[in-house]
Chain A
């Protein structure tokens, strides 16, 4: 830490914070592979997919999601039982352990975008903000692919 004396105060603080074990939070969450399918107008719900990586040393808990695109965005979980019946329900809070990732992908967790304000059009993108229990947020820009898309763009 000796070098800190010779550096600007701000940089010094950053170094101290990142070096302190146990400090973590929403700012350690990285988003990869965001994508969504185009919607048909605004009357049917849309869905958005991506992977959240907790690169920090503490667990983080995802508590909610917001976007200017939809009035009611929620994290939902699709589950399929042994009889092959699929249904969706609200996922509730999702804890991502330190160093772990959570994937929102078809047939599992997804951001369900209810009460769309504008149609989701192929080629466009929209911001999606994830809220965490520590008060921090992470925003991803989600590209809208065609309705028949099967996954994120390579």
Chain B
């Protein structure tokens, strides 16, 4: 009888210890993520039709934001094709989502250059570009990275390396989620629908 009591106490202690340990590893991690990812989309750029746009033009709608450059043969058209598939998959709810393609290559991506690029994906994507300084500020605001990489045979002699996540901002322009490059459209669509339902 006494042995059973001791056993019970030991089991209770073990359970309490594992719970405490679980809480310990979960707690700071969770806190950190929340602090790091709480930010609002901010930009003042020119769209592919030559009109000045800020995040205020899109608030009230969800924003799907991708950074890239139109001379990018692989990652950018692949992601924009996925975005187009997501927009198709949304059906009538697509009106509540604004897909944005922000160029990190303002030198080559003039509004005119974007005008012959983004409409071809047929998903109502808005192409945004600006001066080198505007793009720099936008990049800092979104915590993204980009750099020029020498490539003799490419137009202008360079290509770009860049953050390739697809970002989601909620209708009040607050960061909601991001997907790593290569996430299939079906998965993005399911996540996005869930977020929209919970809003």
Contacts and interface: CB of A to CB of B under 8 A. Distances in A.
A47 interface: yes
Main secondary structure of the interface of B (DSSP, over half): mixed
Interface residues of B, number: 37
Given A80-B182, A85-B161, A88-B159, A114 B74 contact: no
A40 B163 CA distance: 24
B80 A148 contact: yes
Given A45-B73, A83-B163, A113-B73, A88 B81 contact: no
Nearest to B145: A85
Contacts, number: 99
Interface residues of A, number: 33
Given A40-B120, A74-B153, A86 B161 contact: yes
Nearest to A74: B153
B126 interface: no
A154 to B, nearest CB: 15
A84 interface: yes
B116 A40 contact: yes
Interface of A: 37-38, 40-41, 43-47, 71-72, 74, 76, 78, 80, 83-89, 106-107, 110, 112-115, 147-150
Cβ-closest 10 pairs across A and B: A87-B161, A86-B164, A47-B73, A106-B78, A72-B153, A114-B153, A45-B73, A148-B81, A147-B120, A148-B84
Interface of B: 70-71, 73-75, 77-78, 80-82, 84-85, 116-117, 120-123, 145, 147, 149, 151, 153-155, 159-165, 178, 180-182, 185
23 contacts: A40-B70, A40-B117, A40-B120, A43-B155, A44-B73, A47-B77, A71-B153, A80-B180, A80-B182, A84-B163, A84-B164, A84-B180, A85-B162, A85-B163, A87-B160, A106-B74, A106-B75, A106-B182, A112-B73, A112-B74, A114-B154, A148-B120, A150-B85
